[in-house]
């Protein structure tokens, strides 16, 4: 008898008990208190992120690449990692090309990690991604990594920049999950990011930059 | 019973801890902090109550379907490429993990945070095989460096001050200056572990919630080491107890809301990581292999009894111990079990046997502070009462279903006889009257020191006349009938 | 919710701790009730609710004592209990204690008649109190059973708030257990000692002249510790406290 057989037969030998699944009304407590009008939705999203040291810049679909270039110059990143192909790339590359001042070289995550692991871990200062959605109730950004936008981009470099569109902002996780029918097909890895990495393990004092990115920068597009 | 250390003496450890002023002060401050943080997250009593009802329903629903859900979980995981292993005992689980590490040609495993890995004493097992387990969660990293065990399930190093940690890092980590600045200490930890994340071939994580519907493993964390452990190495091994499964993906948001707000007083943790498969074709990173180990280790014993089954509703938030006056006085280490506090008292008898945990069920005043905050409404005091019953019911008691390993661990014929005598006296008015008379008339004869009671209190002084007598006198003066 | 109808007669269950250690609380409770025009019956055969055996895991022995109590309170009059802990035992645990046994129906009927004292005075009698005492600052300690099992902290507060010369002060970690827990205090004496130490420190620190509680088990614990510490502060049962401050008010006709 395998462990599986032993365990399952023990569980099946136990007295059975009928317990109904929760109803839609039951789930409502995870939704109704967490619905907002459009103004509140945006302000709540930003306030929660800012409270945990996220840097948020209001931009438009036109201005965000320039904001990014300014940040790159200001913060002294040695380089900036882009997804392999992404709707973001053209605008960034154009802006870099047209820039009069020197900007950190752009790199693309176009090889499997095995080919350039050391460079990613020790020589990559910042990475920029888009996002799948965002959540106002908890101040969260939903990342749905892909072949083009791999999961280590938002994790290993000490700075993560993410472009979030106003229109991607949902009220709460359960509404979002149900609207988008996530249960029909989950990706390899889905992550909710709600700020830069932190810990309170030392005497309950909060410190940032434990293992994940020390800095999270949101370029918030207000016009789309 | 653990083979690696002798039976823990809870009485000695807890008495000692209760008299340690530093431990008392530190734990009190930490628990006050966590209680305040949680309270601030639940300003609306109605929302909290309804959310707890939902949490209870979700967990009870899942438990009622547990064998079927575990098979569904396995099938979905397999379909997505996650390999599922089952382990009955800690030894089996450790063996599975060690073999997987060998398969990956790795002598080392880097760990995210997993209380189940503590439960199976994985680090000790691997070390005995000449392999290493490295903790990456800051709190776990700290206790590992200090050669200690975690004292709290959410904040493992809560018993240490920053001064303790400053000395620890300076003494144990190469080329590390002494600093008490918390930001600097965290950067030291980050730097020390960075290299290890870079080289690690195998990462181990726990699982906060496993979703049967989609074959998804959900992990919450603030630091990012959990994501690194599950994304950077070529093999990810996740280990969890069999009770951690929920039926549907839509069960996750309410459970997350209860968990993060109850545990650390956060609306959400920095990262919520949902893993459903290993690296797919075309993807550029992520583990090539993902393994899930499902551990029983006595959970099926709790499952077998409908009342004790409620123990398995736990989502490991730690709120119970944060609010427990006993935990606050003795700290986590005194329990000698992986899971301390109220949840520790009700789950450990199933994991280790009542005979190895026999002083735990009685170490409570049944004040109910724990069940008042439990996000999934586990009736902890009721379960403690039940375990006390099992403790004093001998194994050969007729008509008593033998549900708990170690039943009768506290059975003593003399104590049974004492309670029988007590019951006789208190159920026969003439006998009770005689005992009252003795207590009141002979009250001066009681010695000053009656052992345990008088450690902290003056000797109890019965009144000169009992209420029974005073009422009889009073009613006589009133001309009343009794 | 409408308040229960006002009975003519009630039973009083004193509790074994009141019986031996705080008997005046029982007399004060009787006087408070009689002044409201209620007839109080005190069966002399009563002893203990059985909780000490029950919470130690000795169900059969607890049942023996519980059954003896049930037999001593025939009829359907309310039973007023001088402790949240004992009231909780009788109201919430007697039914499950006799589940599936011949006395099940009887136990449930009995449980339905149970009231804790402050609950009865407030919710059934809607008692009105006139404070004739001296100004005083007090702290209220509520037993865990009263607070969480019976939900009767509010009724203690309602009574105390009627006394206009009484100032109620909060003490630190007010909701925390005093550390008695019945046999816990002798099975785990150092943990219990640490708990009562913190409780008494908090009570002393809030600067009151007196402690009041609706539960004598807690008072036995707290007063014992205060005495050992050489403190002058003491606790009194709420029945004694209320009666002493209002006793010279004329009885209702």
Model pLDDT for residues B349-392, shown as the tens digit of each residue: 999 999 999 999 999 999 999 999 999 999 999 999 999 999 99
Co-location of C140 and C241 in the same domain: yes
Select the residue of B54, B249, B272 nearest A192 (Cβ to Cβ): B272
Q: How many CB pairs under 8 A join A and B?
A: 264
Confidence of residue B446 (pLDDT cuts 50, 70, 90): low
Contact assignment for B276 to A190 by CB distance below 8 Å: yes
Co-location of C20 and C112 in the same domain: yes
The pairing of strands A55-59 and A133-135 is unpaired
pLDDT over 80 at C249, yes or no: no
Residues of B in contact with C187 (CB under 8 A): 362-363, 452
Taking only the tens place, the pLDDT of each residue in A160-196 is: 999 999 999 999 999 999 999 999 999 999 999 999 9
Select the residue of B365, B388, B455 nearest C56 (Cβ to Cβ): B388
Co-location of C28 and C114 in the same domain: yes
Confidence of residue B3 (pLDDT cuts 50, 70, 90): very low
β partners of residue C12? C80
Q: Identify whether C148 is part of a domain.
A: yes
What pLDDT is recorded for position C2?
A: 46
pLDDT over 50 at C6, yes or no: yes
Residues of B in contact with A111 (CB under 8 A): 284
C161 close to C154: Cβ distance less than 8 angstroms: no
> What's the gap in Å between the CA of A100 and the closest CA on chain B?
34
**Which chain A residue has the Cα nearest residue B32?**
A204
Co-location of C107 and C175 in the same domain: no
Residues of A in contact with B64 (CB under 8 A): 16-19
Contact assignment for B457 to C62 by CB distance below 8 Å: no
CA-atom Rg of chain A in angstroms? 21
Co-location of C32 and C107 in the same domain: yes
Select the residue of B392, B456, B463 nearest C196 (Cβ to Cβ): B456
Taking only the tens place, the pLDDT of each residue in B303-328 is: 999 999 999 999 999 999 999 999 99
What pLDDT is recorded for position A203?
A: 86
Taking only the tens place, the pLDDT of each residue in C17-63 is: 999 999 999 999 999 999 999 999 999 999 999 999 999 999 999 99
Co-location of C107 and C161 in the same domain: no
Percentage of chain B modeled with pLDDT above 90: 87
A37 and chain B in contact, CB less than 8 A: no
Taking only the tens place, the pLDDT of each residue in C98-145 is: 999 999 999 999 999 999 999 999 999 999 999 999 999 999 999 999
**Can you give the residue range of the structural domain that contains C120?**
9-124
Residues of B in contact with A159 (CB under 8 A): none
> What's the gap in Å between the CA of B476 and the closest CA on chain C?
13
> What's the gap in Å between the CA of A10 and the closest CA on chain B?
7
B348 and chain A in contact, CB less than 8 A: no
Select the residue of B18, B365, B458 nearest C190 (Cβ to Cβ): B18
Rounded Cα distance, B161 and B166, in Å: 9
Which residues of C, range 184-203, sit inside 8 Å of B by Cβ? Answer: 184-198
In three-state secondary structure terms, B272 is strand
Other C-beta atoms lying within 10 Å of the C-beta of residue A107: 16
The pairing of strands B289-295 and B82-87 is parallel
Last residue within a domain, chosen from C124, C148, C176: C124
Q: Identify whether C26 is part of a domain.
A: yes
Cβ contact A–B (≥3 pairs, < 8 Å):
yes
B1 close to B356: Cβ distance less than 8 angstroms: yes
Tokens of A43: 């302000």
B287 and chain A in contact, CB less than 8 A: no
Domains and CATH numbers, chain A: 34-195+207-221 (3.40.50.10420)
What pLDDT is recorded for position B158?
A: 85
Kindly state the average pLDDT of the residues B171-190: 93
Co-location of C88 and C174 in the same domain: no
Higher pLDDT, residue B113 or A131: A131
Select the residue of B65, B231, B253 nearest A152 (Cβ to Cβ): B231
C172 and chain B in contact, CB less than 8 A: no
pLDDT over 70 at B482, yes or no: no
A205 and chain B in contact, CB less than 8 A: yes
Taking only the tens place, the pLDDT of each residue in B449-468 is: 667 899 999 988 899 999 99
pTM: 0.96
Co-location of C28 and C85 in the same domain: yes
CATH of the domain at C239: 3.40.50
Rounded Cα distance, A56 and A53, in Å: 9
DSSP state of B297: T
Select the residue of C26, C177, C225 nearest B456 (Cβ to Cβ): C225
Taking each continuous run of H as one helix and of E as one strand, the counts in chain A are 7, 12
Closest Cα to residue C71, out of C41, C39, C46?
A: C46
Q: Identify whether C251 is part of a domain.
A: no
Q: Identify whether C184 is part of a domain.
A: yes
pLDDT over 80 at C251, yes or no: no
Rounded Cα distance, C74 and C72, in Å: 6
Contact assignment for B57 to A26 by CB distance below 8 Å: yes
Domain extent listing, chain B? 413-478
Select the residue of B158, B182, B271 nearest A212 (Cβ to Cβ): B271
C6 and chain B in contact, CB less than 8 A: no
> What's the gap in Å between the CA of B460 and the closest CA on chain C?
7
What pLDDT is recorded for position C133?
A: 94
Contact assignment for A201 to B249 by CB distance below 8 Å: no
Q: What is the 3 state secondary structure string of B80-141? A: HCEEEEEECCHHHHHHHHHHHHHHCCCCEEEECCCHHHHHCCHHHHHHHCCCEEEECCHHHH
Predicted ipTM of the assembly: 0.98
- Distance of alpha carbon C205 from the chain centroid: 25
The number of folded domains in chain C is 2
Taking only the tens place, the pLDDT of each residue in A128-162 is: 999 999 999 999 999 999 999 999 999 999 999 99
Which residues of B, range 315-354, sit inside 8 Å of C by Cβ? Answer: 325-326, 329-330
Kindly state the average pLDDT of the residues B5-14: 86
Confidence of residue B153 (pLDDT cuts 50, 70, 90): confident
Kindly state the average pLDDT of the residues C216-223: 97
Burial B248-277 (b: 16+ CB within 10 A, else e): bbbbbbbbbbbbbbbbbbbbbbbbbbbbbb
The residue of C38, C57, C73 whose CB has the most chain B CBs within 10 angstroms, and thus the best one to mutate to test that interface, is: C57
Q: Identify whether C89 is part of a domain.
A: yes
Last residue within a domain, chosen from C75, C99, C124: C124
Rounded Cα distance, A107 and A83, in Å: 8
Rounded Cα distance, C203 and C229, in Å: 13
B480 and chain A in contact, CB less than 8 A: no
Last residue within a domain, chosen from C99, C124, C149: C124
C50 and chain B in contact, CB less than 8 A: yes
Co-location of C15 and C109 in the same domain: yes
Co-location of C103 and C149 in the same domain: no
Confidence of residue B186 (pLDDT cuts 50, 70, 90): very high
Q: Identify whether C253 is part of a domain.
A: no
**Which chain A residue has the Cα nearest residue B112?**
A211
The residue of A202, A209, A216 whose CB has the most chain B CBs within 10 angstroms, and thus the best one to mutate to test that interface, is: A202
Q: How many CB pairs under 8 A join B and C?
A: 194
Residues of C in contact with B452 (CB under 8 A): 185-187, 189
Which residues of C, range 28-47, sit inside 8 Å of B by Cβ? Answer: 30, 41-45, 47
């Amino acid at each position: 008898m395998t462990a599986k057989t032993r365990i399952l037969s023990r569980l099946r030998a136990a007295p059975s008990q009928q317990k109904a699944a929760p109803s839609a009304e039951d789930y409502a407590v995870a939704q109704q208190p967490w619905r907002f009008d459009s103004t509140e939705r945006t302000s709540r999203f930003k306030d929660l992120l800012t409270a945990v040291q996220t840097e948020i810049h209001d931009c438009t679909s036109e201005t965000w690449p320039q904001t990014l270039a300014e940040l790159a110059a200001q913060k002294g990143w040695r380089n900036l990692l882009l997804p392999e192909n992404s709707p973001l790339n053209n605008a960034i590359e154009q802006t870099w090309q047209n820039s009069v001042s020197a900007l950190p070289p752009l790199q693309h995550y176009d090889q499997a990690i095995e080919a350039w692991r050391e460079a990613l871990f020790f020589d990559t200062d910042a990475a920029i991604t888009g996002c799948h959605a965002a959540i106002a109730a908890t101040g969260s950004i939903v990342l749905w990594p892909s072949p083009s936008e791999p999961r280590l981009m938002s994790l290993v470099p000490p700075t993560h920049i993410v472009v979030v569109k106003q229109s991607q902002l949902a009220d709460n996780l359960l509404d979002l999950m149900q609207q988008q029918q996530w249960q029909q097909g989950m990706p390899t890895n889905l992550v909710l990011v709600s700020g830069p990495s932190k810990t309170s393990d030392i005497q309950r004092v909060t410190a940032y930059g434990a293992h994940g990115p020390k800095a999270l920068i949101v370029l918030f597009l207000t016009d789309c | 019973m653990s083979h690696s250390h002798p039976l823990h003496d809870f009485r000695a450890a807890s008495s000692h801890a209760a008299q340690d002023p530093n431990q008392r002060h530190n734990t009190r401050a930490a628990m006050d902090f966590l209680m305040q943080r949680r309270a601030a997250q639940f300003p609306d009593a109605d929302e909290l109550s309804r959310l707890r009802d939902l949490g209870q329903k979700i967990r009870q629903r899942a438990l009622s379907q547990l064998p079927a859900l575990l098979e569904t979980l396995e099938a979905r995981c397999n379909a997505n490429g996650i390999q599922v292993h089952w382990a009955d005992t800690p030894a089996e689980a450790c063996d599975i993990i060690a073999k997987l590490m060998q398969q990956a040609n790795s002598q080392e495993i880097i760990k995210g945070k997993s209380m189940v890995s503590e439960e199976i004493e994985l680090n000790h097992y691997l070390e005995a095989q000449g392999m290493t387990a490295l903790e990456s969660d800051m709190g776990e990293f700290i206790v590992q460096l200090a050669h200690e065990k975690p004292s709290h399930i959410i904040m493992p190093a809560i018993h240490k001050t920053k001064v303790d940690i400053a000395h620890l890092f300076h003494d144990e980590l190469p080329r590390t200056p002494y600093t008490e600045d918390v930001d600097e200490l965290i950067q030291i930890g980050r730097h020390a572990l960075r290299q290890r994340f870079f080289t690690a071939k195998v990462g181990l994580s726990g699982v906060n919630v496993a979703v049967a519907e989609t074959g998804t493993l959900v992990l919450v964390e603030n630091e990012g080491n959990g994501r690194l452990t599950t994304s950077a190495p070529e093999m990810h091994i996740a280990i969890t107890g069999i009770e951690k499964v929920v039926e549907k993906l839509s069960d996750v948001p309410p459970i997350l809301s209860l968990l993060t707000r109850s545990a650390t007083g956060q609306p959400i943790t920095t990262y919520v990581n949902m893993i459903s498969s290993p690296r797919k074709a075309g993807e550029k990173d992520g583990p090539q292999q993902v393994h899930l180990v499902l551990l029983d280790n006595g959970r099926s014993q709790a499952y077998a009894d409908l009342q004790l089954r409620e123990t398995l509703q736990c989502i490991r938030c730690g709120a119970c111990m944060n609010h427990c006056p006993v935990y606050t006085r003795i700290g986590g280490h005194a329990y000698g079990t992986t899971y301390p506090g109220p949840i520790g008292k009700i789950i450990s008898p199933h994991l280790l046997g009542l005979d190895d945990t026999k002083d735990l069920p009685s170490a409570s005043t049944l004040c109910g502070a724990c069940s008042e905050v439990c996000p999934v409404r586990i009736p902890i005091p009721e379960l403690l009462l039940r375990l006390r019953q099992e403790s004093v019911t001998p194994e050969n008691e007729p008509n008593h279903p033998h549900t708990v390993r170690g039943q009768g661990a506290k059975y003593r014929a003399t104590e049974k006889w004492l309670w029988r005598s007590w019951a006789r006296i208190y159920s026969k008015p003439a006998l009770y009257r005689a005992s009252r008379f003795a207590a009141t008339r002979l009250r001066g004869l009681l010695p000053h020191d009656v052992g345990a009671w008088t450690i902290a209190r003056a000797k109890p002084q019965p009144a000169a006349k009992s209420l029974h007598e005073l009422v009889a006198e009073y009613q006589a003066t009133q001309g009343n009938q009794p | 919710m409408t308040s229960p109808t006002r009975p003519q007669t009630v039973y009083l269950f004193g509790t074994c701790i009141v019986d031996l250690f705080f008997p005046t609380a029982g007399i004060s409770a009787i006087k408070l009730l009689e002044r409201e025009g209620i007839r109080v019956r005190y069966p002399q055969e009563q002893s203990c609710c059985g909780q000490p055996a029950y919470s130690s895991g000795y169900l059969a022995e607890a049942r023996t004592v519980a059954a003896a109590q049930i037999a001593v309170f025939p009829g359907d009059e309310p039973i007023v209990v001088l402790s949240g802990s004992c009231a909780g035992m009788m109201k919430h645990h007697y039914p499950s204690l006799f589940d599936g046994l011949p006395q099940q129906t009887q136990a449930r009927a009995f449980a339905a008649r149970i009231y804790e004292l402050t609950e009865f005075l407030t919710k059934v009698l809607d008692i009105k109190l006139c404070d004739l005492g001296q100004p005083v600052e007090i702290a209220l300690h509520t037993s865990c059973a009263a607070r969480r099992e019976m939900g009767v902290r509010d009724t203690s507060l309602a009574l105390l708030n009627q006394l206009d010369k009484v100032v109620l002060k909060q003490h630190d970690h007010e909701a925390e257990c005093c550390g008695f827990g019945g046999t816990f205090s002798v099975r785990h004496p150092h943990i219990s000692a640490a708990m009562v130490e913190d409780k008494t420190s908090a009570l002393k620190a809030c600067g009151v002249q007196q402690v009041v509680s609706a539960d004598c088990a807690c008072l036995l614990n707290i007063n014992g510790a205060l005495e050992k510490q050489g403190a002058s502060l003491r606790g009194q049962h709420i029945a004694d406290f209320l009666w002493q401050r209002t006793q010279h008010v004329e009885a209702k006709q």
